[in-house]
Structure formats: C-alpha cells, structure tokens
Amino acid sequence: MRLRLSGLILALAMLCCTEVSAQYNRDYFFWVGRKHMMDNDFKEAIRTLNILLRFDDDAYEGYFLRGIAKYNLDDLLGAEADFSIAIEKNPVFTTAYTYRAITRSRLGNYDDALNDFREAIDLRPDLPNPYYSRGVTRLLNQQFEEAISDFDNFIKYEKKVADAYLNRGVCYLYLKDTVQAYNNFNLAIRTNRENPGGYNRRGALYLTQKRFAEAEADFDKAIECDSSYLLSYFNRALVYNETNRPLQALKDLDKVISLDSTSSITYFNRAIIRSQIGDYNRALEDYYRVAAYSPNNVLVYFNRAILYSHLGEIKKAIGDYTRAIELYPDFANAYLGRSHLKMLLNDTKGARDDRQTAERKIAEYRSRLKDSTYSIYADTTQRFDKLLSFESKLANTSFERISSRRSSDDKMTLMPMFRFTLMREDSTAANIATGRFYAQRAEDFIDKIGNPLLKISRMECNIEPDSLIRMNRRCKQENLSGSDSWVSLFELAVTETLIKQYTNAVSTYTMAIERNPSNPFLYLNRAATRAEMIDFISSIDNAYQRISIESDPASRLHNSHTRSYNYDDAIADLTKAIKLYPGFAYAYYNRANLLALSGKLPEAFDDYTKAIELNPNFAEAYYNRGVIQIFMKDTRKGCLDISKAGELGIEESYEVLKMYSNE
C-alpha cells in the first residue's frame, strides 16, 4: 500500500513539474518566436510557434504572431486565416482586426478590410494606426475624400509621420487640388528631411507645372537622401530633357537601367534622346529591346522607322511603317512617312496613294474633334517623340493589363469579347462556346443579315486580309448606291472593324442603330469595336498609372487601375443591349470584361456570374471569373472556376492550374 501511495505521489510530482515546465516553455516559445521575427527569420518563427500552438491551442497571441510571419512571407491567405483564429479566440483583439484588415486590403477584399478597420476603431478609437492603414486602403480603393479624413485623424495623434502627409497629398492630387497636395508634400519634407519620397513627390508636381528648376532641386535632394532611389533619377532625366541637357538625361537613364535592367519605358525614352542627338546606332539597339518587350506596340515601329530613314535604310523603314499601319490602319503619320519614302524609291503611285489615305484620315479626325468618342483616341497626326513618364506602360493590349502582377502569370489573360464577325467554317471547331449557348433571337438576326460567313465568336477572323478588303469595298459600294438599310450598314461596319478602320466602323454602327434602335446586337458590336479601338490606341496613349505606398505595413500595395482606360461608352452600349435582351449571356460576359479592364473587379465578377446563370456551360465566363478571383487573391475559388473552364474545353486552363499547383 505504501508502494502504491509512493507511486501516486511521484506521478503527482511529475505532473506538477510538467505543468511548470509547460508554463515556462510557453513563454520561452513566445520569446524565441518573437526573436526569430525580429531577425526576419519568418520560416523559423513559424516552426517555433507551431510547437507552441500544438500544446496550447488557446494561445491567440501565437496565432497572431504566426499570421504576421506568414504575411511577411506573402502567404496572405494563411495570414488571414491565423488572424481570424486569433479574433475568434479573443473577439476584442484590436491589433488582430487591424492586421487582418491590412491583409484583406492586399488581397483586394476592400469591403471586408474596411469592416475590420471599423471594428478596430470602434474597439479602440484612440489608437492612430488603424486610421492610417484604413486611409491607405481607401486611397487604393479610390475613395479619396474618405482617405483624407482617415489621414486627418491619424495626424491628430501622430504629427511626425511623413508618410501620412505624403499619402494625404496624393489623395489631394487625385482630387486635382494641387495647392493642398503641395502643402502636404511640404509638411512631409519638414517632418522627415531624410525621406526621399517627399522630395520626389513634390518634384513630380513641379515637373507637371513646368517649374523645372524647383523640380530638379527636389530630385537632387531625393537622390542625396537615397542614391538608389530609381524614381528620382528617372524624373530628373525628364527635367534634363525638357531643359535641353540630353547628355545629363542619358546619364540618369543609364543609372535607372543599371538599377532595373527590364524597364522598357526607360529604354524607350533613352532611344528617343539618342535619336535626337544623332546617336542612331545605339538608339536602334534600344528600340530593338523595346520591340522585344512590346512586339505589338505601334510607337516602337513608327519611331524606329524614322530612325531607319535617318540611317538610309529605306526598305527597313518602309517595313516598320507598314507594320505600324498593320497594327493600326488609322495611323495617319505612318502613311505620310511611308509616302515620303516611296517617293524616294520612285514609287510615285504608292506614294500618292499613301498621302491621299493620310489626308483622308486627318480630315476624318478633324471632323470628329467635338465627338468625345474620337477626340481622345483618333489623333494620329501628332508627334510621338516626347518622353513618357515612369507611370506609363508600353502595353500590348488591354486584355493583358488584367493579368496578375507576377511575371510567371503572363498567360493569365482574359478570354476576348464575343461579337458578330465573319468566319470561315474551318475554325468554328476551336470556338467552343459558340455551340453551347443557343439564342433563337441571335439566330434570327444572323438569318436576317443573310451572310453565310456571319458568326458570333471570340476568335480572330480567319479570312485573308485581301478578301476582307474586297468585302469592305463591295459593302461600301452597296451603301453608296442607295442600299443604306441597317442591314447593309451593319455588314459594312463588320468589315470596317475587321480591317481595323475603327473610327469608320463606330460611325457606321451608329447610323445602323439610328435606323434600328431596338436591336441589341447592333449595340453589342459597337461596344466590341469601341473596346478594340481603345486597345489599339492604348499603345500610343499614355497607358495606366499605379499608386505605390511603400511605407504602410501592407508594404508595396499596388493599384494598376488608377489610370484606367475609359470604356464608359462601350459599357453603356452593353447595358443598353442587356436592357433590350436581358437573357443574352454574351452581353453580360462582354460587359464583365470591360468592367474588369476598368478596375471594377467585383462588378465584373457579378456579370460573369450572371452570364454563367444564363449559360451554365459558358467556359470562357468560368475562365475569366477565375482569372479575376486569382487577381483578387481568392486563389482557391479562382482555380475552381478555371478547372471548370478546362473541363468545358478551355485548354489554357491547365497551364494556369499547373502553375498554381507548383506553388
């Protein structure tokens, strides 16, 4: 009996020792985990915290710390899950709400992020940091006035944080209040005179106002604060170029390329300056680099053609002008340039034809200056040897602008829009979705047009260019002879789109709509043509801008849609088509594409969903909905949609799924 009692006492003693040891180890693991995080060894911190949480499932601080570690390893979904567990175990954990909000902001889930910020502020309205982070989220969500209010509240508590003034200044800048923007950039500089961001922001504002001496002084100071601050070298190069100091501009652009060897916009600008000072061979090298990065960019070929002309390479110059015209047949300057070179080669007829084409397109542009649809996009007679800003991007097409930011995601682009087009039968097998969505009204429309080549498709036309030109001439002749019914106008507009005469095509669709305003398919095609026109001109236009807030805990948040293309007219056309024919899945799909390209991803998601409800086998809608969900960082649901698209026949789906299965 004594033996058994002794054993029980020993067991109790061991249990007590275990409890003391566990309590000691709990603090130890916290300490070790925090130390690993302070040393930026986040993987080891996670391993340590895993041990802690294995023995103490209620240690909400452990989930919180592990969430921060995952966040810093860019495991945003994992971080969100850990912050959620911490909140579940401690519903008044203010900091966990704040960090989950920051994480959700990076995931593009702004609504839930703002709800979390509200919870954090309701719990502790005296804490400044949630106001700052919510301000950044609202800035990225383009809620500029609300963001200013948040930065105001933060500054009441923290008056010595330069980035708060910088971000507030950016908000005022987007509200076009340059006075307040300037005042805030000044406050940022006075708050922290060693921060290059304040000088760069103020310098960029001076640059837009052509106050070059003041801009240069600010960029000099930014570089003095941080000799690796790429933006200031680039912006100072713009100042040097504007003030006729090309060699100094080239030196700064060389420095940018040494810091970022893949910056195509820098090579493009350097090529322009080298051309201007007569360094043609090295300018040519730069243009070749840009053409490799942006093979469908009109400006690259147009500018390189001018360069070849200076070098006496007439045939190569004509080839580049021809390529520019192939990419954008309304490009008047390209016709003028090619006309001049053909005259040098004694091709009098070719030169005359090109000049007449250019003069006709210039006249068309001038006649439409008062039409907002064209005035932004149609001027192809201007000069294109000006330097582009750092926020510019030499994009190929806008359908590529929705792809994820990572270079490995280059294949993740939206499937194109559907429209009524001319197709030969041999390619319809590849057009999977056409056979899936039957709409009697659309079939009746095709029968009414009476052209056996007319199909509704997302595929590129497979008819030879010469044949398309002949079809266009025939349709044009029919309309000139008095047969200008909406049917003949529609056929003409389709051919004009296919030979890339976008301005003419939109005008022709408009005339057809005037004759038959209740036909949804005319609006559908006009929308598709307007969007395609913008996509081509986007390689000439000043592309999109991004906001980069580097100092927020949600480091390097980006919004690539702040300078979004204006698809409003095309979206309005699709809205009209939907009103006239609410059951037409393709109209919702097309509008979703344009909403996505305009940066309105939640609205695009809703339209893709509606298209799928109308056509449960709509492969392209599943694919595109998956792409935008992945873009918004809801990878799991996005991959499920893309998997469904693959099941329905979209072969590109498996390349994307393979990419994510390796992560």
Q: Collect all residues with Cβ–Cβ distance below 8 Å to 144 and sequence separation of at least 6.
A: 138, 171, 172, 174, 175
Predicted confidence at residue 519, as pLDDT, reads: 95
CATH number of domain containing 519: 1.25.40.10
Are residue 408 and residue 388 in the same domain, yes or no? no
> 63-85 in b/e burial notation, b at 16+ Cβ within 10 A?
bbbbbbbbbeeebbebbbbbbbb
Interaxial angle between packed helices 2-38 and 42-55, expressed in degrees from 0 to 180 and rounded to the nearest 10? 150
Residue 194 lies in a domain: no
Of 394, 424, 444, the one marking the end of a domain is 394
Residue 308 within any structural domain of the chain: yes
Name the residue range of residue 323's domain. Answer: 287-394
Q: Are 421 and 459 in a shared domain?
A: yes
Instruction: Quote the CA–CA distance of 502 and 296 in Å, as a whole number.
Output: 17
* C-beta separation of 575 from 526 below 8 A: no
* 493 and 345 within one domain: no
Whether residues 522 and 625 share a domain: the answer is yes
Instruction: Find out whether 328 and 500 touch, Cβ atoms under 8 Å.
Output: yes
The answer to whether residue 23 sits within a structural domain is no
If asked whether residues 562 and 615 sit together in one domain, one would say yes
Number of structural domains (the chain) is 2
Residue 370 confidence (pLDDT): 55
Q: Which of 379, 394, 409 is the last residue of a domain?
A: 394
- The model's pLDDT over 550-570, given as tens digits with 9 standing for 90+, comes to 333 233 223 333 334 578 899
Question: Given the structure tokens 């954090």, which residue do they identify?
Answer: 120
Residue 538 placed within a domain: yes
- Residue 370 shares a structural domain with residue 297: yes
388 and 445 share a domain? no
- Flag whether 208 is in a domain: no
Q: Are residues 506 and 406 in the same domain?
A: yes
Q: In this structure, which amino acid lies at residue 596?
A: A
Q: Supply the DSSP string of 531-546, one letter for each residue.
A: HHHHHHHTTTTT----
Kindly tell me the sign of the dihedral angle through the C-alpha atoms of 198, 199, 204, 206: positive
What tokens appear for 478 in the block? 């029919």
Q: Are residues 514 and 642 in the same domain?
A: yes
Domain presence at residue 323: yes
Q: Which residue, 394, 413, 440, sits at the end of a domain?
A: 394
Low-confidence stretches of the chain (pLDDT < 70) are 1-26, 29-30, 365, 367-386, 389-412, 426-436, 483, 536-565, 660-663
351 is written with which tokens? 């030169």
Is residue 322 domain-resident? yes
Residue 446 falls inside a structural domain: yes
Q: Domain check: are 328 and 425 in the same one?
A: no
Nearest to 581 by CA among 522, 621, 540: 522
CA distance 28 to 41: 17
**pLDDT score recorded for residue 305:** 93
Q: Output the pLDDT for position 419.
A: 93
414 shares a domain with 372: no
3-state secondary structure of 113: helix
Task: Return the pLDDT at 545.
Answer: 27
Sign of CA dihedral 267, 270, 276, 279: negative
Closest to 214 measured CA to CA, from 198, 192, 199:
199
**pLDDT confidence of residue 300:** 86
- Residues across the chain: 663
Give the span between the Cα atoms of 646 and 620, in whole angstroms.
Answer: 10
Please tell me whether residues 471 and 349 are part of one structural domain.
no
